[in-house]
Structure 1
Amino acid sequence: MKLNNIKYTLAICALLLTSVSYAQNPTDPKKATPAAGTLTDEIVVERPYKPVLADAAKIRRSPDLNSNSVFKRALTYSMFDKKLELNSDIRQLQAQEVINGERPPLLNNYAKFGMGNFSTGLAELYLNTGSDEALQAGFFLKHLNQKGDITGQKYSRQNAGIFGKSILPKVTLNGELGFDRFSTFLYGVDPSTNLTFNSDPQKQRYSTISIKGEMLKNYKSEDELDYAVKADAYFLSDKFDAKENAIALSGFVNKVWNDFNIGVNSSLDFTQTKDSLNIGNHIFRANPYIKLQGKSYKLSLGVNLVEEFGTNSGFNLFPTVTAEMPVIPEFATLFAGYTGDVIKSTLQNFSNENPYLNQNLQILNTQETANLYGGIKGNAGAGFGYKATLFYKKLDNMPLFVNNALNPERFDVIYDNAKVTGLEGEINVKVSDAFSWLGKVMVNNYSMDVQEKAWLKPEFKISSSARLSITKEITIDGELVLNDASSALVYLPTPSIVKVKGYADVSAGAEYVHKEKVGIFLRVNNMLNNDYQRLLYYPQLGLNVIGGVNYSF
């Protein structure tokens, strides 16, 4: 057993040695020197390569070489693969859907109530139909009364009215029916003696009913006429049975032709004033014109024909020439003109300026025979506007107020010819919706024909007003009036000139609004508590305060 194992072991070793010898790389016979007793001949065994393909990759079906079928793809065609758009036509606009948001409350109406010193009472009411601007109708009512320390120093004013507006496809219609009532007393006091001219002052009251109507064309084009028609009427009466009725019709027609405007303004005014005298004061006027407007100028040429008829009659023809030329477009424009007109005198105009009138006033119209003016106007940015005008006027029958010789608390109206040279200026600033300011100045120099002075007409006046919204709820405003001294003519004890001192009147107010509905306001007038007169013998109220509430709904 052991012998056999030895044989098998020797045989395996011999085979391993033979394999090792075959795997070695042959050596260069020139360099290598065989060792004694080693094998030097190399035996190489070769045979041809025959590839064998596995059975899994064999194709067991022969191809059909006679098959001639043709593959056909299913095709589809569209005659209008892409839509062509015609740019020669205007496409209909597609409305964009509006997102429904929270709408603010619609506050068309408000009521206001207030009280103050000097027995002041204030009430206002305003009603309106709604937010449709094309159809409006409403009603308003106002009341204010005050009572001073002087006997008879009382004031009371009421205003009421209804109005309507309708915007039709071609025209706009406006109408209003109003009532105005102003009541006071003839409480004249001599400031030098503090004595009243009448221990039992008489009451004066002016009541006016007015009617207004207007029709305007909504647009104008080169192919059509532009036009407007307006009608006004009022009926006035006072406590002493004086009456005045007036009816006026006015309108204009304008035609645009290239750079030209050709048109005419016209009016017919009938006014009848009744007291112990019955005065008819009627005026017809026509103002044909032609306007030429270029890129760097505007020019208007025309005439003003004025026919007066009634108690007094007369015919007047005035040339009218106006021109504008931009120096810096949109910032500065020079303007000038020469015109003339007839300024109508009425009891209504006189009573609005001076309510302490005498009876049986003389009514004469003022002829503005010449009005030559020139100046500059423009804007310095979106929130700053200005205008300055120098002028020279020649006036025939300019009205003046003078105290009556027998009843100094009453005023008569006298007339005189005058030449007036002056300056008017205006500045308007609006920084934003939160702040705005307006300032005006007026300087006049009167050269009278017969009278020594232009009675009760100041030669210098400044007015200014400002408004500031501190927050959305709080707003304050202020006003300043500076009036130069003036001269008055008195007859007692002898004709003489009395100086009416100049004055400064400062007023301010504040308002707080809660949720855009409920508000609280406070107003202080004559803050400097100045004792001044606008008209001789009629001192104004001192410092007066009004406070109250208002409600919007």
Structure 2
Amino acid sequence: SGKYDGGITYSRSLLNLKPWISYELNNLNVKAGFTISTNSVGSNTQTGFYPNVNADLSLSENWTLFGVLSGGQKWNSLGNILEGNEFLDDSLAILNIETNFSFGGGIKGKPLSTVLLESSITYSSLNGLPFFTPSPGDSTKYTLSYDTDNINLTKLKASASYMPGTTSLYRASIELNAYSVESLDRAWHQPTFVFKAFTSHNIQEKLILSSHLTSMGGIRAPANVDFGYVNLKAFIDMGVGVKYLISQRASAFIDVNNLLNNEYERYLGYPTRGLAFKIGAQYRF
């Protein structure tokens, strides 16, 4: 459960209960049940029932087919939204994200002991998914806009991981997204493809070296005319990081982004310019 008092005066809470049973037969494992979500926004409270089914079928020792039918309410916080877009207006109407249903499946396996592969396709019907549009009160900032009808999202995803030992990791993934919206003109600022690559190396249990690459494309932003839009250019952002573990509680780090010195816009009107770096320290209480 949780509660949030937003810039627009209202309170919000959410409670999820997920009773389920599990069944196993030879190579088949099924977990079936339902999700009970009680969502409260201001004085309005709604309770919904959603499916919750997961199934795994082992094809061999190394390969598994999986399927899922699920739904429910997901808590959406200001922190989660700021991770995606920090150029926001002060007053935001934040809603929980409702998945009416999500249906899909895929295959995962280990062709080698050090390699993990996974691919899947899912189709989801959503409510309350926020999109970023210019704020009416301040056109230099963004606000959250919602589609008044259901949003349909088809997602195709594939990933590969390589773990040659306990101290190194290589991982790459790609997502292809197709949105269908009703009252909004476009799925504003949502990419149609996302590619990510990451590697990490732990040296003598103290020094962690990492590198990452992110590429996005197919992003459309609202223009300054009714029903107009701008196609933002696809971009690549590469970075490296160094983290030193001083103790179990303390660490220091250096992060460098945009090594290619590219100028691009993830959000219209906010170009990323040149190489950027961050130096800092962390301490866990």
Partner residue of 2:59 out of 321, 327, 333: 327
Q: Could you tell me which amino acid in structure 2 is paired with residue 503 of structure 1?
A: F
Report the CA distance between 1:362 and its aligned residue. 1.9
The one-character-per-residue Cα deviations of 1:518-549 (angstroms, maximum 9, x if unpaired) are: xx997642121100122221122412467899
Report the CA distance between 1:322 and its aligned residue. 1.3
Larger relative contact order, structure 1 or 2 (CA cutoff 8 Å, min sep 6): 2
* TM-score normalized with structure 1 length: 0.45
3-state SS of paired residue (1:349): helix
Asked if 1:479 is matched to 2:212, the reply is yes
Are residues 548 and 375 of structure 1, via their aligned partners in 2, closer, same or farther at CA, if it must alter by over 3 Å? closer
Asked if 1:400 is matched to 2:139, the reply is no
Report the CA distance between 1:450 and its aligned residue. 1.8
Are residues 433 and 364 of structure 1, via their aligned partners in 2, closer, same or farther at CA, if it must alter by over 3 Å? closer
Partners of 2:198 and 2:213 within 8 A in 1: yes
Asked if 1:375 is matched to 2:103, the reply is no
Question: Tell me, which stretches of 5 or more residues in structure 1 are unaligned?
Answer: 1-268, 514-519
For 1:380 and 1:445, the matched residues in 2 are separated by: 30
Report the CA distance between 1:293 and its aligned residue. 2.2
Partners of 2:16 and 2:73 within 8 A in 1: no
3-state SS of paired residue (1:386): strand
1:287-436 alignment, distance < 5 Å:
287-311=18-42, 312-329=44-61, 331-416=62-147, 417-433=150-166, 435-436=168-169
Asked if 1:488 is matched to 2:221, the reply is yes
Are residues 546 and 371 of structure 1, via their aligned partners in 2, closer, same or farther at CA, if it must alter by over 3 Å? closer
Kindly, what percent of the aligned residue pairs are identical?
Answer: 23
Q: Could you tell me which amino acid in structure 1 is paired with residue 192 of structure 2?
A: E
For 1:314 and 1:524, the matched residues in 2 are separated by: 45
Partners of 2:33 and 2:53 within 8 A in 1: yes
Q: Could you tell me which amino acid in structure 1 is paired with residue 127 of structure 2?
A: D
3-state SS of paired residue (1:313): strand
The alignment covers a number of residue pairs equal to 272
For 2:84 and 2:279, the matched residues in 1 are separated by: 27
Counterpart for residue 262 of structure 2: 530
For 2:119 and 2:133, the matched residues in 1 are separated by: 32
Q: Could you tell me which amino acid in structure 2 is paired with residue 377 of structure 1?
A: K
Q: Could you tell me which amino acid in structure 1 is paired with residue 121 of structure 2?
A: L
Counterpart for residue 175 of structure 2: 442
For 1:466 and 1:381, the matched residues in 2 are separated by: 19
3-state SS of paired residue (1:542): coil
Report the CA distance between 1:496 and its aligned residue. 2.3
3-state SS of paired residue (2:80): helix
For 1:472 and 1:433, the matched residues in 2 are separated by: 11
Q: Could you tell me which amino acid in structure 2 is paired with residue 291 of structure 1?
A: S
For 1:290 and 1:475, the matched residues in 2 are separated by: 41
For 2:205 and 2:40, the matched residues in 1 are separated by: 56
Larger fraction in strand? 2
For 2:88 and 2:130, the matched residues in 1 are separated by: 13
Report the CA distance between 1:371 and its aligned residue. 0.2
Partners of 1:509 and 1:521 within 8 A in 2: yes
Counterpart for residue 191 of structure 2: 458
For 2:60 and 2:186, the matched residues in 1 are separated by: 41
Report the CA distance between 1:467 and its aligned residue. 3.7
Partners of 2:6 and 2:92 within 8 A in 1: no
Q: Could you tell me which amino acid in structure 2 is paired with residue 364 of structure 1?
A: L
